[in-house]
């Protein structure tokens, strides 16, 4: 029996947004926050960048005053905010704190206008205004209105994707774009009260809502409770079906089917790829088309197994770049000769200058003008196309590389499936199933996000040289492992037939 709670915890803006995404996430964050996955290095880097962007945006409204109390001192922060709002000499308040209807918010920037109204400025480190930002601003308007703060405009301040960095200090007036979303936020304001009532009714229950993992776990934000919730899934959960659409998920839910192994052979709506996965899982066997071997036999020697590492700083570092411009800084190339000999070549830019031209020149030298270029995904081809724009005097040579590229991921998707893929065709998942002796667990840097973060740390002036040396070594190990994995996968796929 469900027993209502006598007291539910206050909501914050972040909890309200979590509730819009998933009621179970809201419930767990309110009562069982210890079940959330720890903040990892990648998440912390995103938070740190968001903080940096938020601080920089304050320069748009200089001479403002920061409410210094932390989020754990909300009541004191509210008192400090009220004093600042009542002082007409304060042109702007940063991190203004409010509470209304048991909802706590911190407004990024409140700007005093000439008629003693205020503009609400919500700062995001994205490079556009997104749909989810409307509710974010609307709940702040709800609280501010309840607190008697008269808002003239509600704006979303984000990085300007058209800004081209000229060097030196950032011109914040050009770096940021401010979108007036007052009308959009006001339009959904009437929905806020009903949404809050529904959330509170749910929070009054003694048990969390029974919500299965699904697309809401990552849209619009990755949920910190995913690892906990996914632990309740069967080993071969239906979301592991490739390209599964909502219509099929609904039909499976109505049939009370959660495990791929429980799907009847004549269940309607499964395409050929999904049927193949079902058969592999039920029979605990690998599917491998002979065609994949034929494709691999057509590779031209010397065969180059290629991988890139990149980073995309929110705040541009190099002249001529824009926010989130993708910058390649490292490549690895395992080269197999026709006699079976394999050698390895690599590049990792050393210095604080723009790495793209040295990257391109060294890449062209290593790849030469002969041999197939094996990659895993379309990422490398996209980056080569980007380099053609960045380094136009090398564009003809770079363009010639594109015709030699063979995407191993496409071949695996089309011709191979193993139950241990669990619906993922990432190189790590495929490698774990087909070449279990070769993995990434022994590496300090073991995914692309960590590689990006590491390079950003390397080029930071604040990083000490011994730390840089350590990170360089870790990056070289990681990128080398990626191309070694491509070599081993190609060999395994050939040997299996």
pLDDT category, 7, cuts 50, 70, 90?
confident
Kindly state whether residues 310 and 444 are assigned to the same domain: yes
pLDDT score of 5: 67
Kindly state whether residues 298 and 189 are assigned to the same domain: no
Structure-token match 């309740």, residue found: 232
219 falls within a domain? no
Which secondary-structure segment (H or E) carries 136?
helix 131-146
425 falls within a domain? yes
Phi, psi of 163, rounded to the nearest 5 degrees: -70, 130
Query: By C-alpha distance, which of 483, 481, 496 is closest to 415?
Result: 496
Kindly state whether residues 179 and 42 are assigned to the same domain: yes
Q: Say if residue 6's pLDDT is above 80.
A: no
178 bridge partner residues: 157
Query: By C-alpha distance, which of 277, 252, 305, 303 is closest to 433?
Result: 277
pLDDT score of 94: 98
Kindly state whether residues 172 and 297 are assigned to the same domain: no
| Cis, bond preceding 302 (omega within 30 deg of 0) | yes
What does the alpha-carbon distance between residue 57 and residue 142 come to, in Å, rounded to a whole number? 24
Per residue in 88-147, pLDDT (tens digit) is: 999 999 999 999 999 999 999 999 998 889 999 999 999 999 999 999 999 999 999 999
274 falls within a domain? no
Kindly state whether residues 181 and 314 are assigned to the same domain: no
As a whole number of Å, the end-to-end CA separation of the chain is 57
Q: Is the dihedral of CA 419, 423, 427, 432 positive or negative?
A: negative
Kindly state whether residues 346 and 197 are assigned to the same domain: no
Q: Which of 203, 223, 254 is the endpoint of a domain?
A: 203
Distances (CA, A) of 420 to 23, 277, 330, 390: 31, 11, 30, 41
| Cis, bond preceding 206 (omega within 30 deg of 0) | no
460-464 contacts, C-beta under 8 A, 24 or more apart: 461/352
* Contact predicate 80/68, CB 8 Å: yes
Structure-token match 């000229």, residue found: 166
3 state SS of 67:
coil
- pTM exceeding 0.85: yes
What does the alpha-carbon distance between residue 347 and residue 366 come to, in Å, rounded to a whole number? 10
Q: Say if residue 442's pLDDT is above 90.
A: yes
Pairing of strands 303-311, 373-375: parallel
Q: Is the dihedral of CA 355, 361, 367, 372 positive or negative?
A: positive
The residues near 261 (Cβ < 8 Å, ≥ 6 apart) are 234, 236, 281, 282
Could you give the percent of the chain with pLDDT greater than 70?
A: 99
What does the alpha-carbon distance between residue 357 and residue 389 come to, in Å, rounded to a whole number? 11
Kindly state whether residues 297 and 197 are assigned to the same domain: no
The HSE-up count of residue 376 (CA atoms within 13 Å, CB side) is 25
pLDDT score of 1: 33
What does the alpha-carbon distance between residue 9 and residue 240 come to, in Å, rounded to a whole number? 36
Domain with residue 144: its CATH number is: 3.90.320.10
245 falls within a domain? no
Q: Which of 203, 223, 241 is the endpoint of a domain?
A: 203
Q: Which of 138, 171, 203 is the endpoint of a domain?
A: 203
Per residue in 267-281, pLDDT (tens digit) is: 999 999 999 999 999
Domain with residue 377: its CATH number is: 3.30.420.10
3 state SS of 285:
coil
Residues listed for the chain: 497
185 falls within a domain? yes
What does the alpha-carbon distance between residue 240 and residue 437 come to, in Å, rounded to a whole number? 24
383 falls within a domain? yes
Kindly state whether residues 298 and 197 are assigned to the same domain: no
Q: How many domains does the chain contain in total? A: 2
229 falls within a domain? no
For residue 450, what are the domain limits? 292-495
pLDDT category, 2, cuts 50, 70, 90?
very low
Report the alpha-carbon angle 385-170-393, nearest 5.
25
Q: Say if residue 189's pLDDT is above 60.
A: yes
Per residue in 190-248, pLDDT (tens digit) is: 999 999 999 999 999 999 999 999 889 999 999 999 999 999 899 999 999 999 999 99
Mean pLDDT of 64-76: 96
Could you give the percent of the chain with pLDDT greater than 90?
A: 95
What does the alpha-carbon distance between residue 417 and residue 275 come to, in Å, rounded to a whole number? 11
Per residue in 423-438, pLDDT (tens digit) is: 999 999 999 999 999 9
Per residue in 309-360, pLDDT (tens digit) is: 999 999 999 999 999 999 999 999 999 999 999 999 999 999 999 999 999 9
Kindly state whether residues 298 and 198 are assigned to the same domain: no
Phi, psi of 489, rounded to the nearest 5 degrees: -65, -45
Pairing of strands 118-123, 176-180: unpaired
Strands (E), 256-302: 287-288
Cβ-based neighbour number of residue 191 at 10 Å = 12
pLDDT score of 496: 72
247 falls within a domain? no
What does the alpha-carbon distance between residue 437 and residue 155 come to, in Å, rounded to a whole number? 53
Q: Work out the angle between the directed axes of helices 408-415 and 290-297 (0-180°, nearest 10).
A: 160
Per residue in 145-169, pLDDT (tens digit) is: 999 999 999 999 999 999 999 999 9
Q: Can you read off the two tokens belonging to residue 425?
A: 């065709």
pLDDT score of 495: 82
Kindly state whether residues 474 and 371 are assigned to the same domain: yes
Q: Can you read off the two tokens belonging to residue 268?
A: 């309607």
Kindly state whether residues 312 and 461 are assigned to the same domain: yes
161-166 contacts, C-beta under 8 A, 24 or more apart: 161/127, 161/128, 161/322, 161/323, 161/324, 162/322, 163/316, 163/322, 163/323, 164/320, 164/321, 164/322, 165/316, 165/317, 165/318, 165/319, 165/320, 165/321, 165/322, 166/319
Q: Say if residue 4's pLDDT is above 60.
A: no
């Amino acid at each position: 029996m469900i027993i209502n709670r006598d007291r539910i915890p206050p909501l914050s803006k972040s909890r309200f947004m979590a509730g819009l995404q998933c009621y179970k996430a809201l419930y767990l964050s309110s009562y069982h926050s210890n079940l959330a996955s720890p903040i990892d290095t990648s998440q912390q880097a995103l938070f740190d960048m968001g903080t940096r962007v938020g601080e920089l945006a304050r320069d748009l409204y200089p001479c403002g005053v920061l409410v210094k109390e932390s989020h754990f001192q909300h009541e004191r922060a509210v008192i400090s905010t009220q004093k600042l709002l009542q002082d007409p000499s304060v042109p702007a308040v940063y991190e203004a704190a409010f509470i209304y209807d048991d909802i706590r918010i911190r407004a990024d920037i409140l700007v005093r206008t000439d008629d003693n109204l205020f503009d609400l400025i919500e700062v995001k480190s994205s490079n556009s205004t997104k749909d989810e930002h409307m509710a974010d601003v609307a709940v702040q308007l709800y609280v501010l209105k309840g607190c008697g703060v008269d808002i003239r405009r509600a704006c979303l301040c984000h990085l300007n994707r058209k800004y081209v960095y000229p060097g030196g200090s950032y011109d914040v007036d050009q770096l940021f774009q401010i979108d007036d979303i007052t009308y959009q936020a006001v339009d959904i304001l009437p929905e806020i009260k009903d949404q809050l009532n529904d959330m509170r009714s749910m929070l009054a229950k003694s048990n969390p809502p029974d919500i299965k993992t699904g697309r809401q776990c990552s849209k619009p934000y990755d949920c910190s409770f995913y690892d906990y919730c996914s632990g309740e899934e069967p080993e071969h959960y239906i979301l592991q079906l490739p390209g599964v659409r909502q219509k099929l998920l609904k039909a499976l839910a109505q049939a009370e089917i959660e495990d791929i192994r429980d799907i009847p052979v004549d269940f309607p709506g499964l395409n050929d790829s999904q049927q193949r996965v079902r058969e592999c899982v039920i029979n605990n066997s690998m599917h491998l088309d002979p065609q994949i071997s034929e494709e691999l036999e057509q590779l031209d020697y010397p065969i180059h197994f290629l991988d890139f590492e990149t980073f995309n700083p929110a705040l541009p570092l190099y002249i001529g770049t824009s926010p989130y411009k993708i910058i390649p800084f490292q490549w690895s190339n395992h080269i197999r000769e026709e006699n079976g000999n394999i050698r390895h070549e690599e590049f990792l830019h050393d210095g604080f200058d723009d790495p793209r031209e040295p990257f391109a020149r060294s890449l062209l030298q290593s790849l030469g003008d002969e041999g197939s270029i094996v990659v895993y995904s379309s990422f490398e081809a996209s980056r080569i196309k980007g380099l053609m724009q960045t380094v136009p005097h090398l564009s003809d040579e770079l363009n010639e590389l594109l015709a030699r590229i063979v995407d191993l991921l496409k071949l695996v998707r089309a011709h191979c499936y193993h139950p241990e893929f669990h619906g993922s065709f990432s190189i790590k998942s495929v490698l774990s199933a087909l070449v279990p002796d070769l993995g990434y667990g022994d590496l300090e840097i073991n995914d692309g996000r960590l590689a990006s973060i590491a390079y950003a740390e390397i080029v930071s002036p604040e990083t000490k040289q011994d730390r840089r040396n350590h990170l360089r070594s870790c990056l070289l190990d990681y990128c080398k492992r990626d191309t070694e994995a491509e070599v081993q996968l190609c060999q395994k796929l050939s040997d299996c037939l």
